[in-house]
């Protein structure tokens, strides 16, 4: 609580005028925004609406928001017209994310959008062009760079402690459970590479500064327990500009009995040593020194940092440009897996 | 000691007549053969010779064998003529392994040969044809299937505990140290995929029954601390016949201060759960059950099992045919990395 109070007072000291936020869709991790309600007193939630008529947002509304007297809207356009929010939290069915994000940006509303920001290159191009109008800010729900252990590892790498990163191994493993039918169609879901692997893609992009030449990949829907087209697992192999490479595995095979929903790991190796993150801790092993657990920063909230960046102009660990690059990389990785070919990357950001 | 005595008496009980063994070259892991000297009283080492005039075998001879009065030969042909061994332990410079193995097989001498058995497809073809003459047995120094924790994991997978193996992740990480100039040239060394990654390739081949469709790969010599052409690290991506896939990373980046020379890991995931080997222990995680450490068998020696297979006709965990397939897979993986293309595999063994 002491920590929470400190954070709150820090925000109150530096915060600007009240910020009105609206929620469009509850199919993604809007908890990333809701979890900081207590810490962001200047943010008021002014409404919630489904992203499409067939999305059941009511249940979430009743469970999470009704006591707070936030109005529920059937149509988000009406909500935006009426409430005039400064920020939209956009988490509809995944294939609608980019379209609704564009609509909000065009209205000058800042957008905190579930990843992937787009499920096709066309969607991504449109979103990029709309964002380039400069009317509002855009941040995807890609909080990987704000995980304390991963940030510690990234600091170790950027401080040169392992040398040039030449071999990166990353793992994203999730519990499957029973998922909404939206997940069972590529057209509505987008694929497991853009949905799950994208966090690992974000790490890899971050650790190597986006300097990636091409990608090979593989994925399968086998073992998905009746989830239609949804891929259960796969691997992406990235060839880095420094001649090194990165391997990313992703799967929904984490048993329900496991202690946490996800199991995130990364290992970065170079001439000088190896840094690893597993079980939420970062460990460094270098020549001539015993293995050392790295100190971690206090947890930061992605949404809080987004609000801060809007209010204060501070720079986020993942910029909109980087988010576009990471999303593009996810779509190209999916293409590599679909076509079983090596896909060159347009540009190294 | 109780265990050793038991093993010895088991061998004496079942062993045949004395077996004469000769050593050709000391550039590989001939310790795999020497470590069981006490346990295999029927095996007598009758001579040692370098695999080529420029290989310094004398130092090893003086350190390891001189007290045992084993004769040293400058020329292994002369040793084979004179001592008429039944078994040859072949570990010359790597590019000579297949040639010397062929010479021994042609003489009817059983061969325990360092991996890779061949550093080119031509060498491998010749070795395969020579072995097919049926004059003698052949076993490569690929002990991976005899590591107790890996065997426990393999048993769990073949018992169906994780379901169809759909995602395999493996790691081979070694300390680099300072290596002989032989390692610094592809022509004499063969490459890090055939030398280091091959153990992981052996695991993957074993766990999926050799049903692999194709391979993509990447490797680099960057960060190799002055070791010329020797690759420091890389990744192989295997697309399995069951539509799943396997990712294998390999590197020489393990710092000298690490507690063990190598760090071997594998993770096999399927619809029913995940089994992992790390730090020499196998752990199983399945739906509805707490994580469980798997029991391990008593360690078995590859060389001892090879002698037993010669004496008793017992089947080894890695047959000569499987060893050919694993070596072929290593060479094709190297080709995939060299050419940056997807390499189809001739046959699923």
Asked if residues B137 and B111 have their Cβ atoms less than 8 Å apart, the reply is yes
Mean pLDDT of B149-162: 98
Query: Please, what is the average pLDDT of chain B?
Result: 92
Output the pLDDT for position B11.
40
Asked if residues B337 and B219 have their Cβ atoms less than 8 Å apart, the reply is yes
B258-298: pLDDT as tens digits: 888 899 999 999 999 999 999 999 999 999 899 999 999 99
Are A247 and B237 in contact (CB < 8 Å)?
Answer: yes
Output the pLDDT for position A92.
96
Task: Find the DSSP H helices in chain B.
Answer: 2-14, 31-34, 58-60, 76-83, 97-106, 121-132, 148-158, 186-189, 192, 198-207, 302-312, 320-339
Residue among B169, B220, B247 whose CB faces A166 most closely: B220
Would you call B156 helix, strand, or coil by DSSP?
helix
* B-interface mutation test, from A245, A263, A333, A342, most B Cβ less than 10 A away: A245
Output the pLDDT for position A171.
98
* CA atoms of A35 and B146, how far apart (whole Å): 50
Residues 6 or more apart whose Cβ sits within 8 Å of residue B210 = B322, B325, B348, B349
Residues 6 or more apart whose Cβ sits within 8 Å of residue A226 = none
* A-interface mutation test, from B166, B173, B174, B238, most A Cβ less than 10 A away: B166
User: Taking 90 as the threshold, does the pLDDT of residue B187 lie above it?
Assistant: yes
User: Taking 50 as the threshold, does the pLDDT of residue B3 lie above it?
Assistant: no
Would you call A186 helix, strand, or coil by DSSP?
helix
B39: its two tokens: 């346990």
Q: Which residues of A touch B218 (CB under 8 A)?
A: 237, 239, 245
* CA atoms of B239 and B241, how far apart (whole Å): 7
Query: What is residue A126's DSSP assignment?
Result: H
* CA atoms of A220 and A81, how far apart (whole Å): 43
- 246-305 in chain B: CB under 8 A from chain A: 246-247, 249, 251, 253-258, 267, 269-271, 273-274, 285-291
Q: What is the ipTM of this complex?
A: 0.92
Output the pLDDT for position A5.
30
CA-based nearest residue in chain B for residue A168: B249
User: Taking 50 as the threshold, does the pLDDT of residue B155 lie above it?
Assistant: yes
Q: What percent of chain B has pLDDT over 70?
A: 94
Mean pLDDT of B315-343: 96
* CA atoms of B126 and B63, how far apart (whole Å): 35
Residue among B223, B257, B289 whose CB faces A290 most closely: B257
Q: Is the dihedral of CA A140, A145, A146, A147 positive or negative?
A: positive
B231-243: pLDDT as tens digits: 999 999 999 999 9
Q: Kindly report the nearest CA distance between residue A240 and chain B, in angstroms.
A: 10
A320-339 and A198-207 helices, crossing angle to 10°: 120
Residue among A218, A244, A258 whose CB faces B237 most closely: A218
Does residue B340 sit at the A interface (CB-CB below 8 Å)? Answer: yes
Output the pLDDT for position A15.
52
Beta bridge partners of B129: none
Output the pLDDT for position B16.
61
CB burial readout B197-221, b (16+ within 10 A) else e: bbbbbbbbbbbbbbebbbbbbbbbb
Would you call A147 helix, strand, or coil by DSSP?
coil
Output the pLDDT for position B247.
98
Output the pLDDT for position B8.
36
Are B249 and A167 in contact (CB < 8 Å)?
Answer: yes
Q: Kindly report the nearest CA distance between residue B246 and chain A, in angstroms.
A: 7
pTM: 0.93
- 95-114 in chain A: CB under 8 A from chain B: none
Q: Which residues of B touch A219 (CB under 8 A)?
A: 245
Does residue A171 sit at the B interface (CB-CB below 8 Å)? Answer: yes
B118-151: pLDDT as tens digits: 999 999 999 999 999 999 999 999 999 999 999 9
- 10-residue stretch averages of pLDDT, chain A, 349 residues long: 31 63 92 81 92 88 78 96 97 97 98 97 98 97 96 98 98 94 96 98 97 97 97 98 98 93 96 97 94 95 94 94 97 97 75
- 188-227 in chain A: CB under 8 A from chain B: 216-223, 225
Does residue B177 sit at the A interface (CB-CB below 8 Å)? Answer: no
Q: Kindly report the nearest CA distance between residue B82 and chain A, in angstroms.
A: 48
Output the pLDDT for position A348.
46
Would you call B216 helix, strand, or coil by DSSP?
strand
CA-based nearest residue in chain A for residue B170: A169
For every residue of A32-45, DSSP letters joined together read HHHTTGGG-TTEEE
For every residue of A47-98, DSSP letters joined together read EEE-SSTTS--HHHIIIIIGGGTPPB-S-HHHHHHHH--SEEEE-SSGGGHH
Task: Find the DSSP H helices in chain A.
Answer: 2-14, 31-34, 58-60, 76-83, 97-106, 121-132, 148-158, 186-189, 192, 198-207, 302-312, 320-339
* A-interface mutation test, from B165, B177, B252, B253, most A Cβ less than 10 A away: B253
Residue among B216, B222, B289 whose CB faces A164 most closely: B222
Q: Which residues of A touch B340 (CB under 8 A)?
A: 239, 342
Output the pLDDT for position A346.
63
CA-based nearest residue in chain B for residue A250: B167
Q: Is A82 left (phi over 0), alpha (psi -120 to 50) or beta?
A: alpha
Are B287 and A232 in contact (CB < 8 Å)?
Answer: no
């Amino acid at each position: 609580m002491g920590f929470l109070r400190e954070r709150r007072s820090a925000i109150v000291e530096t915060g600007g005028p009240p910020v009105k936020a609206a929620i469009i869709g509850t199919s993604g991790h809007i908890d990333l925004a809701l979890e900081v309600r207590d810490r962001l007193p200047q943010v008021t939630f002014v409404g919630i609406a489904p992203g499409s008529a067939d999305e059941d947002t009511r249940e979430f509304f009743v469970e999470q928001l009704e006591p707070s007297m936030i109005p529920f809207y059937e149509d988000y356009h009406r909500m935006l017209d009426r409430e005039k929010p400064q920020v939209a939290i956009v988490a509809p069915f995944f294939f609608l994310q980019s379209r609704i994000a564009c609509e909000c940006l065009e209205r000058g509303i800042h957008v905190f959008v579930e990843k992937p920001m787009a499920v096709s290159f066309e969607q991504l191009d449109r979103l990029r062009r709309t964002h380039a109008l400069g009317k509002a800010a855009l941040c995807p729900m890609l909080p990987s760079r704000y995980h304390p252990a991963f940030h510690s590892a990234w600091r170790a790498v950027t401080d040169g402690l392992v040398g040039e990163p030449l071999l990166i191994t990353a793992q994203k493993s999730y519990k499957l459970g029973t998922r909404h039918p939206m997940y069972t169609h590529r057209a509505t879901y987008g694929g497991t590479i853009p949905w799950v692997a994208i966090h690992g893609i974000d790490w890899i992009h971050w650790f190597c500064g986006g300097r990636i030449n091409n990608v090979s990949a593989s994925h399968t829907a086998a073992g998905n327990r009746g989830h239609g087209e949804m891929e259960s697992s796969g691997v992406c192999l990235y060839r880095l500009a420094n001649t090194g490479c990165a391997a990313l595995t992703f799967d929904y095979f984490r048993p329900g009995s496991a202690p946490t929903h996800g199991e995130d790991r990364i290992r970065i190796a170079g001439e000088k040593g190896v840094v690893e993150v597993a079980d939420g801790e970062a460990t460094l092993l270098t020549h001539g020194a015993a293995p050392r657990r790295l100190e971690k920063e206090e947890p930061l909230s992605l949404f809080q940092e987004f609000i801060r960046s809007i209010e204060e102009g501070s720079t986020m660990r993942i910029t909109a440009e980087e988010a576009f690059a990471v999303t593009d990389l996810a779509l190209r990785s999916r293409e590599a897996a679909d076509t079983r070919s090596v896909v060159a990357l347009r540009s190294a950001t």
